[in-house]
Amino acid sequence: TQLLEQSPQFLSIQEGENLTVYCNSSSVFSSLQWYRQEPGEGPVLLVTVVTGGEVKKLKRLTFQFGDARKDSSLHITAAQPGDTGLYLCAGAGTGFQKLVFGTGTRLLVSP
């Protein structure tokens, strides 16, 4: 069974701080995705990384896929209250058809 562990589970910071969320597994994934979920909504895709070592930037968010394609990180620079939400990583195995979701990181950014 493929498992994805995220850390930290909860994070409460002040506006302007930087933070990093980690997503780790003992399994290799063909691709990894990051989603953000806000209260009352379903998860929304932020990014997909496919190549080991790949780094993608989305404004103040930087995503990295580990060289061995077993782990990933999300770094947010100068966090803002609008970044508040549940961040979920999701890994796709061979065949792509089923995503395995991580345990989630709940982020609260206070003004």
Partner 1 sequence: EAGVTQSPTHLIKTRGQQATLRCSPISGHTSVYWYQQALGLGLQFLLWYDEGEERNRGNFPPRFSGRQFPNYSSELNVNALELEDSALYLCASSLFHSGANVLTFGAGSRLTVL
Q: How far is the CB of 39 from partner 1 (least distance, A)?
A: 8
Return the number of the residue (75 or 106) whose C-beta is nearest partner 1: 106
Closest CA to 11 of 101, 111, 74, 84: 84
Chain-centre distance for alpha carbon 95: 21
33 makes contact with partner 1 (CB under 8 A): yes
Return the number of the residue (45 or 78) whose C-beta is nearest partner 1: 45
Q: 77 and 62 in contact (C-beta within 8 Å)?
A: yes
- Compute how many other C-beta atoms are within 10 angstroms of the C-beta atom of residue 51: 10
Q: How far is the CB of 77 from partner 1 (least distance, A)?
A: 25
> What tokens were used for 26?
């003992």
Q: 71 and 52 in contact (C-beta within 8 Å)?
A: no
45 makes contact with partner 1 (CB under 8 A): yes
97 makes contact with partner 1 (CB under 8 A): yes
Residues that bind partner 1 (CB under 8 A): 1, 4, 6, 9, 30-31, 33, 40-45, 48, 50, 86, 88, 90, 92, 96-104, 106
